[in-house]
């Protein structure tokens, strides 16, 4: 059984299960094995009711003392029973399990496991799982994998399939040379893959993760190195000169560039007029004003008679840039002839755009990845700017090079990365930092609160809407039943809840990644046009959106997000002159969670937040709360695994010193591995 064997060939996986897996993006055995657990469960010794701490998952042995209530609300049946042991009482609530009334006999003992909650002064457990002593003993003292799921797919089904796949999978021979395995204390890939799914203990889990993370970082940095060599001293084929256009533009915009912006603008001008092709990254916190720098570069490009392209990760963001440019043309007479090119345009619209691009009628092309598809023929592409996208891989470059001469590349990123990491992760680029925010900003007022604060938050949102302002509410999930997301809010149900809680006049709408792009664009446009007051969204909103009239950002299940990501979300407000607010709701109230979120309360500096987050979680934090999507590794987290990242970087350096062409016998397997189209399921060249 190899990487690309379809999972239907696994015994026990039928057509129905296959479809469910496919929905979760898992088609092959390779996909399945790369679907790492998102957490592990430990079935610890049951505790007494008195010891059961609110917020924690634990098992208890209790006697049923009575039925408290049985209700039916719409389609939901709710059964609440009381239970106790010698140390105290606890309420148990079961949803849509009316039969539990017969199963649970008053006076009999039961072993139950679930999350402890508080209901007023009383302790409670919602939907606890019932175990026999024997079943429980079988699970105890093991680390059981918990997978991200799609509706209909159970954790058990995934466990079974993975276990089957592990027993049949033929792993490649070891590809790292011995000196590398020893120097970085790496276990074999086979041990690592089975260890990440079914670790026997914490040590094994740690070693397994280390190898998998190392593999990802190593492949990534290897390609980065290739990229760098390819770019080294590429001559400037589009030498540009500063014209009156940019000077006039800067005189007309209603603000002065900050010192940091001026410095970066100078660096860009020097690149564009210098001897080598530009490969520059602009790094700057949210709201630091990176867009205007891109606009200046594109304007210089247009004024020199060339074409420039501005590429965004989402259609929503591309449309927003297009609007901004239209405004600059009208207000400040910027000499752009822009054209928009996104996937959701009709064939006819696209054709019209292609023609304008090929004829040179358009001198600024704004869009998504559609910009680098084969059908697009440029007449004189000289500059490509990518927004909120760190990587511009070899594949992209090759495609562009085919379209003409090697253009200048400018990459803009808001991911706050400490300098030492930035040098590794952006090894193939020159880095400019915008380390200063425009002076007119009012600091955003933030608070970290628990779910009981919701009614007040809703009242506050209603008040802001009445003042003509707008709000975002972020939930981690799209719809109900996704994953084992019992305690996670989802956009679809939440929007309904919110509509009921807010006055009728408030317009509430949803936005999430499962919607069609054209639908997403429409919603965003309506929001920007103020036809929508409150937008309930997943983190699709996170990247670069600029609606300065929005003053409230409320995040549900804040504990589920990385701090850097929460900081990005907060950056969606506080973009205008009005006071803005950010409400982080946490469904967990334990000390660590609160301390972590409290960092956001104290600081509004992305770099500081990222470094504190790292400090608190500590390197090697196993559950790597997902950071923002910019550096989306499967197992690795650039912050938490910074030390492994450094090791992988060292390993690549050493390899290149010893044997740059990988021609020694000990590097033969590695050369083969690295020449594959994708390495362990990840195609770094197209990132």
Enumerate binding residues for ligand ADP (CB under 6 A): 255, 257-258, 261, 284, 286-292, 414, 438, 440, 544, 546, 548, 575
Q: How far is the CB of 434 from ligand ADP (least distance, A)?
A: 7
**Closest CB to ligand ADP among residues 605, 650:** 605
**Closest CB to Mg ion among residues 544, 636:** 544
Tokens of 107: 């006076």
Q: Which of 280, 283, 341, 285 shows the shortest CA–CA distance to 312?
A: 341
Distance CA 262, CA 201 (A): 54
Q: Phi and psi dihedrals of 581, rounded to 5?
A: -135, 145
Segment interacting with Mg ion, rule: CB under 5 A, options 132-140, 297-305, 537-545, 588-596 = 537-545
Distance CA 439, CA 371 (A): 35
Q: How far is the CB of 320 from ligand ADP (least distance, A)?
A: 9
Tokens of 599: 């960092």
Residue 286 binding target from ligand ADP, Mg ion, none, CB below 5 to 8 Å by type? ligand ADP
**Closest CB to Mg ion among residues 153, 411:** 411
Task: Give the number of residues in contact with Mg ion, rule: CB under 5 A.
Answer: 1
Q: How far is the CB of 339 from ligand ADP (least distance, A)?
A: 21
Determine the length of the chain.
687
Helix (H, G, I), strand (E, B) or coil at 34: coil
Q: How far is the CB of 555 from ligand ADP (least distance, A)?
A: 18
Q: How far is the CB of 414 from ligand ADP (least distance, A)?
A: 6
**Closest CB to ligand ADP among residues 286, 310:** 286
The structure tokens 């440029």 sit at: 378
Q: How far is the CB of 296 from Mg ion (least distance, A)?
A: 14
**Closest CB to ligand ADP among residues 128, 416:** 416
Distance CA 520, CA 517 (A): 5
- What's the burial of 500, exposed, middle or buried (CB within 10 Å: 0-12/13-18/19+)? exposed
Bridge partner residues of 308 (DSSP): 364, 383
Residue 29 binding target from Mg ion, ligand ADP, none, CB below 5 to 8 Å by type? none
Q: How far is the CB of 325 from ligand ADP (least distance, A)?
A: 12
Distance CA 340, CA 344 (A): 11
Distance CA 640, CA 627 (A): 10
574 binds Mg ion (CB under 5 A): no
Bridge partner residues of 575 (DSSP): none
Closest residue (Cβ) to ligand ADP?
Answer: 289
Tokens of 108: 């009999």
Q: Are 613 and 603 in contact (CB under 8 A)?
A: no
Site string for Mg ion, 540-559 (x = CB under 5 A): ----x---------------
Residue 278 binding target from ligand ADP, Mg ion, none, CB below 5 to 8 Å by type? none
**Closest CB to ligand ADP among residues 28, 258:** 258
Bridge partner residues of 545 (DSSP): none
Query: What residues contact residue 154 under an 8 Å CB cut-off, 6+ apart?
Result: none
Q: Which of 547, 566, 575 shows the shortest CA–CA distance to 474?
A: 566
- What's the burial of 518, exposed, middle or buried (CB within 10 Å: 0-12/13-18/19+)? middle
Dihedral sign for Cα atoms in the order 392, 395, 398, 400: negative
Segment interacting with Mg ion, rule: CB under 5 A, options 188-196, 298-306, 536-544, 658-666 = 536-544
Residue 288 binding target from ligand ADP, Mg ion, none, CB below 5 to 8 Å by type? ligand ADP
**Closest CB to ligand ADP among residues 290, 685:** 290
**Closest CB to ligand ADP among residues 128, 574:** 574
Q: How far is the CB of 345 from Mg ion (least distance, A)?
A: 23
Q: How far is the CB of 294 from ligand ADP (least distance, A)?
A: 8
Residues in touch with Mg ion (CB under 5 A):
544
């Amino acid at each position: 059984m190899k990487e690309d064997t379809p999972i239907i060939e696994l015994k026990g996986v039928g057509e129905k299960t296959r479809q469910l897996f496919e929905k979760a993006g898992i088609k092959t055995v390779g996909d399945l094995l790369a679907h790492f657990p998102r957490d592990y469960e430990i079935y610890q010794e049951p505790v007494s009711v008195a010891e059961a701490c609110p917020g924690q998952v634990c098992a208890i042995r209790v006697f049923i003392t009575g039925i408290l209530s049985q209700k039916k609300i719409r389609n939901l049946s709710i059964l609440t029973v009381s239970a106790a042991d010698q140390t105290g009482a606890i309420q148990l609530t079961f949803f849509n399990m009316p039969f539990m009334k017969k199963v649970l006999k008053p006076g009999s003992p039961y072993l139950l496991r679930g999350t402890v909650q508080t209901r007023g002064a009383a302790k409670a457990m919602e939907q606890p799982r019932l175990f026999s002593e024997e079943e429980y003993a079988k699970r105890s003292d093991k680390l059981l994998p918990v997978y991200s799921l799609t509706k209909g797919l159970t954790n058990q089904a995934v466990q079974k399939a993975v276990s089957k796949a592990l027993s049949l999978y033929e792993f490649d021979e070891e590809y790292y040379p011995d000196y590398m395995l020893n120097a970085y204390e790496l276990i074999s890939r086979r041990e690592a893959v089975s260890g990440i799914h079914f670790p026997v203990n914490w040590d094994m889990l740690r070693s397994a993760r280390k190898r998998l993370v190392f593999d990802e970082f190593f492949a990534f940095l290897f390609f980065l190195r290739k990229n760098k060599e390819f770019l080294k001293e590429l001559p400037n084929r589009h030498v540009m000169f500063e014209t009156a256009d940019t000077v006039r533009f800067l005189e007309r915009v209603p603000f002065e560039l900050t010192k940091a912006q001026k410095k970066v603008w100078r660096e860009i001008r020097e690149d564009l007029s210098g001897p080598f092709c530009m490969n520059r990254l602009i790094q700057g916190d949210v709201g630091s004003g990176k867009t205007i720098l891109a606009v200046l570069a594109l304007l210089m490009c247009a004024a020199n008679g060339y074409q420039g392209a501005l590429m965004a990760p989402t259609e929503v963001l591309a449309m927003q840039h297009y609007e901004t440019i239209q405004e600059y043309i009208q207000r400040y007479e910027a000499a752009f002839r822009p054209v928009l090119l996104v996937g959701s345009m009709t064939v006819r619209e696209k054709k019209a755009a292609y023609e304008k691009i090929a004829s040179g009628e358009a001198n600024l092309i704004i869009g998504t990845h559609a910009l680098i598809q084969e059908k697009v023929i440029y007449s004189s592409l000289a500059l490509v700017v990518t927004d909120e996208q760190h990587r511009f891989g070899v594949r992209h470059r090759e495609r562009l090079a085919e379209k003409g001469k090697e253009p200048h590349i400018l990459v803009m990123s808001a991911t706050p990365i400490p300098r030492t990491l930035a040098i590794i992760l952006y090894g193939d680029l020159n880095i400019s930092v915008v380390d200063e925010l425009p002076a007119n900003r009012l600091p955003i007022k933030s608070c970290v609160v628990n779910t009981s604060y919701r009614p007040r938050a809703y009242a506050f949102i209603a008040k802001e809407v009445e003042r003509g302002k707008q709000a975002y509410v972020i939930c981690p999930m799209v719809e109900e039943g996704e994953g084992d997301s019992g305690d996670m809010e989802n956009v679809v149900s939440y929007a309904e809840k919110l509509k009921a809680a807010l006055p009728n006049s408030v317009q509430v709408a949803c936005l999430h990644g499962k919607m069609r792009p054209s639908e997403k664009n429409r919603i965003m446009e309506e929001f920007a046009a103020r036809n929508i007051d409150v937008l309930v969204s997943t983190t699709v909103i996170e990247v670069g959106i600029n609606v300065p009239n929005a003053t409230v950002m409320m995040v549900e299940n804040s504990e589920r997000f990385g701090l850097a990501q929460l900081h990005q979300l907060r950056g969606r407000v506080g973009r205008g002159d009005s006071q803005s607010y950010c409400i982080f709701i946490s469904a967990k109230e334990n000390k660590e969670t609160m301390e972590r979120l409290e960092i956001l309360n104290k600081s509004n500096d992305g770099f500081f937040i990222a470094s504190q987050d790292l400090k608190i979680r500590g390197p090697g934090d196993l559950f790597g709360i997902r950071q923002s999507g910019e550096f989306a590794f499967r197992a690795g987290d650039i912050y938490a695994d910074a030390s492994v990242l450094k090791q992988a970087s060292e390993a690549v350096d050493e390899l290149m010193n010893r044997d740059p062409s990988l021609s020694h016998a000990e590097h033969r397997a590695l050369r083969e591995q690295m020449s594959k189209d994708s390495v362990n399921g990840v195609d770094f060249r197209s990132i």
